[in-house]
Structure 1
Amino acid sequence: MDYPKSVPSVGLVDGRFVDENPVAGKPGSLIPAVWGNAVTEELLSVISGAGLAPTEGNNGQLFRALQALMAMASPMRSSITNVAVSKALTSDDLGLVLINAVAGATTISLPTVDAALGIRDVIVRRVDNTSTRLVVQASGTDKIKFHTHLSAAGYQFLVLMGAGDWWHLRSDGAGSWWPVGRFDSTPLGRPVFETTALLNPGGYGLLNSTVFARTDWPWLWDHAQQSGMMTTEAARLGSEGGWTSGDGGLTFRGPEGRGEFIRLFDEGRGVDSGRLSGSWQVDMFKSHRHELKSDMLGVPSGPSSVAPDALFNQGASSLGFTEVIGGVETRPRNIAYPGRIKLI
């Protein structure tokens, strides 16, 4: 739009408005109807484009329309959706979605990612700290593109674990949700120590040889298969630090770490060679000997004298044994911290 330069009217100078000057006999500007209607139409188009119904007498609509249009210009809209039961989200729900799963297992379905949805953002955040399962899943054949190093296609769903756990997802308009950020990006499968007996939010479980359902943890099952540290249940003894194939069809087992000291895998250095990653090793002393000194006080010298020193357990005779002391294993002074493993 522009000033009404092409519209003949009294008092316009190059289409611009001027004030009346009675002294000089100069009339003031008269606004042309065509221009006034054009200005009104321009303003109404902004209001209607923001999804508002134009209302005469409401002088705040243009401002609200501009706010709405600015929000729509960003993939992250200014909306908050509170959910306490399983729900299929619509495009209008996207923004910040706060989910309370205290009532039981909850599934939140994302909208179908197509050209109509376009590029949109959503933050899904858990607000309760219960152990109930909370799943955020894509619709139909859509995928969530996380842990693509394990599966290039991504996965059908993710889980939110613990109060405050969140994922920021962005749709690409072509069948995929891409993670933009998340509460805890610690790599999958990493063991960590904690200074709390509770499970921190962000996707952690106990490092206690848990048996998992493959369908509930598909990314973790892929990680186990590609880890080079997986064996069968029958061959698990001595390899408790690795993964097992569970029942061979529906389950798999995670690593056991309780009560153990952690040692870095040799990986060809030759210090602790001959072992498999995740294998268990019994405690031992480094090879050495103890010498038992003879008490020579009062022993005469000469050909029949006792040798000045005798080695413990030499020959067929024994000079005796030390008293049995100690515990059930050899260990240094230490502190016990709870162990956790990253599950997603």
Structure 2
Amino acid sequence: MDYPKSVPSVGLVDGRFVDENPVAGTPGSLIPAVWGNSVTQEILSVISAGGLTASESDTGQLLKAIQSIVGNASPMRSVVTGLAASKALTAPELGLVLIDSSPASMTVTLPPAGVALGVRDVIVRRVDNSGNRLVVQASDTDRIRFHTHLSASGYPFLVLMGNGDWWHLRSDGAGSWWPVGRCDNSALGRPFFETSTTLNPGGYGVPNGDLFKRSEWPWLWDFARTSGALTTEAARAGMEGGWTSGDGATNFRIPEIRGEFLRVLSEGRNIDPGRTAGSLQSHSLQSHNHYLPTGTGANYKPAPGIPDGVWDVGTNVNFSPTTTTVATTYPNPAFDSDTYIGNIGNFSGETRPRNIALPARIKLI
């Protein structure tokens, strides 16, 4: 559109409208009908493109239409929606969705990701740390396309775990929501060490051997099935670090690694041949010999003439323990390890290196 330059005698000065000037005797500009209709149609076109029906009494439609058009042109809208109860989101509520699940477990359903919605973004963020289950569900047959290496079509829902956990999702207009970003994208099933006994947000749990429902954790069950470390409940003894198929129908068991030392799997190096991922190896002692000093006294110091630290091979003690009493070639067959060995070092029920205990976590989503 432009000023009505094509219409003669409209009274434009330098191409613009002017007011009447009675003192100077100059008339004001005229607004021809063709120009007025053109301007009105330009505005109506914007209102229509914004999805609104023109109303003569509504003076805010042009602004609303522009906001709608800008919002649809950019997937992310400047909208903040707060929720504290289960709800099906509508298109105008998409933006930043802050969810408080402290009152009870909740399900937040996304709008259908079809042609009508088009390409739209939403960030769903949890703002409580109650531990109640919080599910973000796709509509009907729609899918959220995460962990597609396990399921090409993705999954019908995800869970937000912990205060601050968030996912940024984008609809494709064809029935799918695609992750654009998330709080923590560490690999599913990976174990971690923490310096806190609390659970950080982002999808973590404790690797404590608990049973999980397959219907509530379908991606984790798919991971377990393809892990190469899956066994049955009946065969779990000795495979506590792996997964089990649970009851074979409705649940499965996650690994139990609390209080254990971890060792790298050989994977063809021929160290610990025959071991499988998740298998438990019992403690053991290397077969070896100890030598007793020839002297007497509380500290068993060597006899005169024998330097400190020199042991008498004739009093060899062979440590290949099979019982609580150490096998010995010492002249006293009743030699007891608790009586003697307890005086020369720190001992416990098992052999272990010096260590620090850190809480372990496992990525559940």
Q: TM-score range by the shorter chain?
A: 0.7 to 0.9
Worse overlay, 32-41 or 111-120: 32-41
1:252-331 alignment to 2 at 5 Å?
252-292=252-292, 294=294, 309-310=313-314, 312-313=316-317, 317-320=329-332, 321=335, 322=337, 323-325=340-342, 326-331=347-352
Tell me, yes or no, if the aligned pair for 1:212 and 1:254 is still in contact at 8 Å: yes
The change in CA–CA distance for 1:220 and 1:44 in structure 2 (over 3 A counts) is same
Tell me, yes or no, if the aligned pair for 1:87 and 1:108 is still in contact at 8 Å: yes
Identity %: 61
Query: Shift of the alpha carbon at 1:196?
Result: 1.6
Cα deviations by residue, 1:91-129 (Å, 9 ceiling, x for unpaired): 122111111111212111111121111111111111111
State the partner residue of 1:110: 110
1:70-89 alignment to 2 at 5 Å?
70-89=70-89
State the partner residue of 2:16: 17
The change in CA–CA distance for 1:313 and 1:98 in structure 2 (over 3 A counts) is closer
Q: CA RMSD in A?
A: 3.0
The change in CA–CA distance for 1:331 and 1:81 in structure 2 (over 3 A counts) is same
Query: Shift of the alpha carbon at 1:331?
Result: 1.3
Report SS of the residue matched to 2:72: helix
Cα distance in 2, alignment partners of residues 208 and 290 from structure 1: 40
The change in CA–CA distance for 1:53 and 1:125 in structure 2 (over 3 A counts) is farther
Tell me, yes or no, if the aligned pair for 1:283 and 1:329 is still in contact at 8 Å: yes
The change in CA–CA distance for 1:317 and 1:118 in structure 2 (over 3 A counts) is closer
> TM-score, normalising length from structure 1?
0.86
Query: Shift of the alpha carbon at 1:47?
Result: 4.5
State the partner residue of 1:303: none
1:196-275 alignment to 2 at 5 Å?
196-275=196-275
Cα deviations by residue, 1:126-159 (Å, 9 ceiling, x for unpaired): 1111111111111111111010101111111111
Matching residue's letter, 1:318:
Y
Tell me, yes or no, if the aligned pair for 2:109 and 2:139 is still in contact at 8 Å: yes
Cα distance in 2, alignment partners of residues 122 and 6 from structure 1: 49
Question: Number of residues paired by the alignment?
Answer: 334
Tell me, yes or no, if the aligned pair for 1:293 and 1:310 is still in contact at 8 Å: no
Tell me, yes or no, if the aligned pair for 2:243 and 2:253 is still in contact at 8 Å: yes
1:28-43 alignment to 2 at 5 Å?
29-43=29-43
Cα deviations by residue, 1:188-238 (Å, 9 ceiling, x for unpaired): 111111122211111111110010011110000000000000111111111
State the partner residue of 1:342: 363
State the partner residue of 1:195: 195
Query: Shift of the alpha carbon at 1:45?
Result: 3.6
Report SS of the residue matched to 1:108: strand
State the partner residue of 1:166: 166
Query: Shift of the alpha carbon at 1:32?
Result: 2.6
1:46-125 alignment to 2 at 5 Å?
46-47=46-47, 49-50=49-50, 51=52, 62=62, 65-125=65-125
Query: Shift of the alpha carbon at 1:9?
Result: 2.9
Query: Shift of the alpha carbon at 1:298?
Result: 8.6
Cα distance in 1, alignment partners of residues 124 and 328 from structure 2: 76
Tell me, yes or no, if the aligned pair for 1:84 and 1:101 is still in contact at 8 Å: yes
Matching residue's letter, 2:261:
F
> TM-score, normalising length from structure 2?
0.81
Tell me, yes or no, if the aligned pair for 1:187 and 1:342 is still in contact at 8 Å: yes
Tell me, yes or no, if the aligned pair for 1:294 and 1:309 is still in contact at 8 Å: no
Query: Shift of the alpha carbon at 1:274?
Result: 2.5
In structure 2, runs of 5+ residues without a counterpart are 296-301, 306-311, 319-326
Worse overlay, 171-180 or 30-39: 30-39
Tell me, yes or no, if the aligned pair for 1:52 and 1:65 is still in contact at 8 Å: no
